[in-house]
């Protein structure tokens, strides 16, 4: 069992037992014991002779805004949502480029966009596939691991790695090998009272850890509130939802496009007539062949299995709606029986004959009976008595499963297979309501969500035969911020070399989609963006960096449609991407491709793809408002805050030369503060002090009036 100690005692133990540089590994995202890390960091800052390197990813900090209306909106919201969440002390020093000389922070995934201007973060970024991180950290000599864990009174000898078994489970055997060879390695656990107890692979013996902090963490868990889903993202989600095949496998990521996809899948299940009517207007028949070949429009009769490195709140919503309900099993023969249709949704055999039809051998000897017991398919009370099976009531029947008498007698003793899960996830992160819903599930329900090591999810090797059976018709759906006309995807890094986020597992899933014969990789892309008042295309001729090389191109989805790029010639790829690009940029893209000799000089895009404009999509929202919910998965924002956010986004869109006149006129025509009393009070502008606050109030009122009808 681990040694119980205070935060300070644990710091002293580390400094005493680890002779030389400290190489500390912390989980990605939620699972960091921040208060203890801060205590260690504070001590190391006072000991310049000691070296500390921290290896981690996704260091979570509260959202911040510069002065002005954004700050007035954000600060009360942040205080309410994040409460007493203890931020990592080194994160502020990282942002201000003031880390001490004896400390380095090496990350393999950054909080998106937050560290673009941090030289130490950019210089010490590790570009590594998620599935390779454990290997890479072990090679760096990791000698200290620290993690938040969950406990349950029903499992007094175990901890749950809860939100972060992802890297830890992959690291532990590597660390054990080095320990056996004489290396000093310490593992520290701190219990967080709000983390749900995830069993299965995420459950580890307490002796896995050397130290356990006496202080149980009770602070607010960091959360990622759902943000508004715009029309552009809703249309992307609608198109992508048609490519998901019933009975298949689903992986999705975090963010508005992931929420939009979830909303579309929920509509496909719960409002199929409305869903089909909207798609008929959105798509026409342009992608009917791709949908028939790859996905479908019908509700989910068989359901989906989730295989996603990140367990997002949308996947839980899909499970609650009955979309995510195809269970998979950890034992190969049971999985084969499930795929053959012998088991119901709870994993219980429909009948003995169904098992035989699915390939189960009819003769029951001692090994066969032991397997039936171990797999959970047959009650343990059924035993062998010579060449017969003895039932709990004393009845004996032939041991041949093909015998009608045996089949009838065993029907009441068939049981659900053990270990069935609806989803495998490596880590979770989401809104507070997501954590609450997980905590409210009973143990049996929670066991249907299998948290496990990232190598199980992101790779095929290791139990490959089982994984191939589980991951049938997989749709690995990720996002990109740029796609080149030749099909390369950009998702992690800007052209100038600065890292926006990280590769994470995106390349893993793209490669996996090509390795599984019935899988597809689908990249979601907003076809255009607006920055500093300028509108530009996210489909470009070339870009100075790629995350997914063009030889792994597969499917791309924008708000305008679907491009199937697999196996296509360069000219066909270009034409497919032009068909889903914004029409404001199509002519320029065509000219670039023609200058490079990749399109014939007489090329013309089909007229039906030449009206790809936001106005057409906005009109669809007006016709189908129920399918364009602003917050389809719920919101942490109050009603006033949602309206304020809408107004602030409108104001942001007007700060460009072409629309300054419109903004000025709207400000002059803004209503009196009495028209929106709660909103101006929420922003602290009900009694403006000075010209600056008066201007803020007028701008805010103009934005509220402009967006009031939305």
Which band of pLDDT confidence, cut at 50, 70 and 90, is reported for residue 378?
Answer: very high
- pLDDT score, position 669: 75
Helices (H), 116-187: 119-123, 133-139, 168-180
Q: What is the pLDDT of residues 469-497, one digit of tens each?
A: 999 999 999 999 999 999 999 999 999 99
Helices then strands (H, E): number in the chain?
A: 28, 25
Side-chain-side CA neighbours of 40 within 13 Å: the count stands at 30
- pLDDT score, position 518: 96
Judged by DSSP in three states, 353 sits in helix
Cα dihedral 209, 214, 217, 218 in deg (nearest 10): 140
Of 319, 309, 314, 301, the C-alpha closest to 262 is: 314
CA gap 370, 380 in Å, rounded: 9
Judged by DSSP in three states, 107 sits in strand
Cross-strand bridge partners of residue 144: 24, 186
CB 355 within 8 A of CB 337: yes
Report the pLDDT averaged over residues 511-537: 93
Q: Which uninterrupted H or E stretch holds 52?
A: strand 52-56
CA gap 608, 284 in Å, rounded: 10
CA gap 107, 36 in Å, rounded: 19
CB 574 within 8 A of CB 486: yes
CA gap 357, 366 in Å, rounded: 21
Q: Is the dihedral of CA 26, 29, 31, 34 positive or negative?
A: positive
CB 260 within 8 A of CB 282: no
Q: What's the N-to-C CA distance of the chain in angstroms?
A: 58
Written as six digits, the tokens of 216 are: 């149980």
- pLDDT score, position 563: 98
CB 148 within 8 A of CB 429: no
Q: What is the pLDDT of residues 79-109, one digit of tens each?
A: 999 999 999 999 999 999 999 999 999 999 9
Which band of pLDDT confidence, cut at 50, 70 and 90, is reported for residue 663?
Answer: low
- pLDDT score, position 672: 87
Q: Which uninterrupted H or E stretch holds 470?
A: helix 464-470
Whether the predicted pLDDT of 52 surpasses 90: yes
Of 148, 147, 213, the C-alpha closest to 7 is: 213
Of 415, 442, 245, 239, the C-alpha closest to 326 is: 245
Calculate Rg over the CA atoms of the chain: 28
Q: Are 3-213 and 231-327+422-586 in the same CATH fold?
A: yes
Which band of pLDDT confidence, cut at 50, 70 and 90, is reported for residue 664?
Answer: low
CA gap 705, 675 in Å, rounded: 9
CB 422 within 8 A of CB 324: yes
Based on the number of CB atoms within 10 Å of its own CB, is 349 exposed (0-12), middle (13-18) or buried (19 or more)? buried
- pLDDT score, position 662: 60
Of 267, 288, 269, the C-alpha closest to 278 is: 267
- pLDDT score, position 655: 65
Whether the predicted pLDDT of 368 surpasses 90: yes
> How open is the CA angle 369-371-372, to the nearest 5 degrees?
65
Report the pLDDT averaged over residues 269-290: 96
Domain covering 231-327+422-586 in this structure, CATH number: 3.40.1080.20
- pLDDT score, position 377: 97
Q: Which uninterrupted H or E stretch holds 555?
A: strand 555-558
Whether the predicted pLDDT of 653 surpasses 50: yes
Q: What is the pLDDT of residues 672-704, one digit of tens each?
A: 888 899 999 999 998 888 888 888 888 888 888
Written as six digits, the tokens of 447 are: 């066991």
> How open is the CA angle 426-432-436, to the nearest 5 degrees?
80
Cross-strand bridge partners of residue 556: 523, 563
* Count of residues in the chain: 710
CA gap 245, 177 in Å, rounded: 42
Please identify, in words, the CATH class of the domain defined by 3-213: alpha beta
CB 470 within 8 A of CB 305: yes
Cross-strand bridge partners of residue 555: 522, 564
CA gap 186, 143 in Å, rounded: 6
CA gap 459, 166 in Å, rounded: 13
Written as six digits, the tokens of 441 are: 């599930």
Report the pLDDT averaged over residues 274-302: 96
Written as six digits, the tokens of 659 are: 């629309």
CA gap 652, 359 in Å, rounded: 63
Residue-averaged pLDDT of the chain: 95
- pLDDT score, position 64: 85
Written as six digits, the tokens of 55 are: 């290896």
CA gap 492, 480 in Å, rounded: 8
Report, in this order, helix, strand and coil percent for the chain, each rounded to 5.
40, 15, 40
Whether the predicted pLDDT of 657 surpasses 50: no
Domain locations in the chain as residue ranges: 3-213, 231-327+422-586, 332-413, 639-707
Q: What is the pLDDT of residues 409-454, one digit of tens each?
A: 999 999 999 999 999 999 999 999 999 999 999 999 999 999 999 9
Q: Residue 254: CB partners within 8 Å, gap ≥ 6?
A: 224, 310, 312, 429, 430
Report the pLDDT averaged over residues 135-147: 97
pTM of the entire predicted model: 0.95
Q: How far is CA 168 from CA 71, 129, 147, 305, 527, in A?
A: 37, 15, 9, 24, 38
CB 350 within 8 A of CB 417: no
Report the pLDDT averaged over residues 513-518: 96
DSSP 202: G
Strand 561-564 relative to strand 555-558, pairing: antiparallel
Of 75, 85, 92, the C-alpha closest to 223 is: 85
């Amino acid at each position: 069992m681990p040694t119980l100690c205070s935060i300070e005692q644990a710091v002293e133990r580390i400094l005493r037992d680890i002779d030389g540089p400290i190489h500390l590994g912390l989980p990605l995202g939620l699972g960091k014991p921040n208060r203890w890390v801060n205590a260690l960091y504070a001590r190391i800052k006072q000991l310049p002779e000691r070296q500390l390197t921290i290896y981690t990813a996704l260091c979570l900090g509260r959202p911040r805004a510069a002065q002005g209306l954004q700050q007035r909106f954000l600060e009360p919201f942040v205080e309410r949502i994040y409460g007493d969440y203890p931020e990592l002390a080194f994160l502020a020093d990282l942002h201000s480029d003031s880390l001490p000389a004896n400390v380095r922070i090496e990350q393999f995934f950054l909080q998106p966009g937050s560290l673009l201007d941090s030289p130490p973060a950019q210089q010490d970024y590790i570009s590594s596939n998620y599935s390779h991180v454990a290997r890479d950290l072990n090679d760096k000599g990791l000698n200290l691991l620290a993690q938040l864990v969950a406990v349950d009174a029903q499992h007094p000898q175990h901890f749950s790695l809860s939100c972060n078994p992802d890297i830890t489970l992959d690291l532990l055997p590597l660390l054990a090998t080095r320990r056996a060879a004489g290396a000093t390695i310490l593992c520290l656990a701190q219990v967080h009272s709000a983390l749900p107890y995830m069993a299965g692979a995420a459950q580890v013996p307490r002796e896995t850890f050397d130290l356990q902090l006496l202080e149980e963490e009770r602070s607010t868990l960091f959360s990622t509130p759902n943000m508004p889903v715009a029309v552009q993202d809703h249309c992307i989600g609608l198109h992508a939802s048609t490519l998901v095949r019933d009975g298949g496998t689903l992986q999705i990521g975090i963010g508005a496009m992931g929420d939009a996809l979830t909303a579309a899948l929920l509509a496909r299940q719960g409002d199929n007539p409305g869903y089909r009517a909207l798609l008929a207007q959105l798509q026409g028949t342009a992608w009917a062949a791709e949908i028939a070949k790859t996905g479908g429009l019908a509700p989910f009769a068989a359901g989906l299995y989730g295989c996603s490195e990140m367990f997002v709140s949308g996947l839980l919503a899909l499970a609650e709606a009955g979309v995510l309900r195809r269970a998979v099993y950890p034992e190969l023969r049971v999985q084969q029986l499930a795929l053959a249709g012998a088991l119901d949704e709870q994993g219980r055999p429909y009948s003995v004959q169904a098992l035989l039809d699915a390939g189960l051998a009819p003769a029951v000897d001692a090994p066969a009976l032991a397997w039936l017991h171990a797999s959970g398919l047959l009650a343990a009370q059924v035993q062998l008595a010579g060449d017969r099976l003895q039932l709990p009531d004393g009845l004996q029947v032939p041991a041949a499963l093909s015998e009608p008498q045996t089949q009838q007698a065993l029907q009441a003793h068939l049981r659900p297979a053990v270990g069935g899960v609806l989803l495998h996830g490596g880590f979770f992160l989401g809104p507070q309501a997501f954590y609450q819903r997980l905590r409210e599930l009973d143990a049996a329900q929670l066991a249907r969500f299998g948290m496990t090591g990232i190598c199980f999810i992101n790779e095929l090797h290791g139990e490959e035969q089982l994984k191939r059976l589980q991951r049938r018709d997989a749709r690995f759906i990720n996002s990109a911020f740029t796609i080149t006309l030749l099909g390369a995807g950009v998702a992690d890094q800007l052209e100038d070399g600065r890292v926006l986020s990280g590769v994470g597992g995106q390349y893993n899933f793209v490669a996996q989609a090509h390795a599984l014969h019935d899988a597809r990789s689908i990249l979601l892309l907003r076809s255009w963006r607006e920055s500093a008042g300028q509108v530009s295309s996210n489909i470009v001729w070339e870009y100075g960096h790629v995350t997914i090389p063009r030889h792994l191109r597969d499917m791309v989805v924008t708000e305008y449609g679907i491009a199937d790029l697999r196996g296509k010639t360069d000219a066909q790829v270009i034409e497919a991407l032009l068909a889903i690009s914004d029409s404001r940029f199509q002519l320029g893209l065509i000219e670039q491709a023609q200058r490079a000799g990749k399109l014939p000089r007489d090329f013309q895009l089909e007229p039906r793809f030449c009206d790809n404009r936001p106005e057409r999509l906005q009109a669809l929202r007006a016709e189908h408002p129920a399918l364009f919910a602003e917050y389809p998965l719920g919101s942490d924002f109050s009603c006033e805050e949602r309206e304020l956010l809408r107004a602030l986004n409108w104001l942001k869109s007007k700060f460009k030369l072409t629309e300054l006149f419109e903004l000025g006129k709207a400000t002059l025509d803004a209503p009196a503060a009495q028209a929106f009393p709660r909103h101006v009070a929420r922003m602290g502008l009900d009694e403006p002090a000075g010209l600056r606050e008066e201007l803020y109030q007028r701008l805010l009122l103009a934005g509220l009036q402009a967006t009031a009808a939305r």
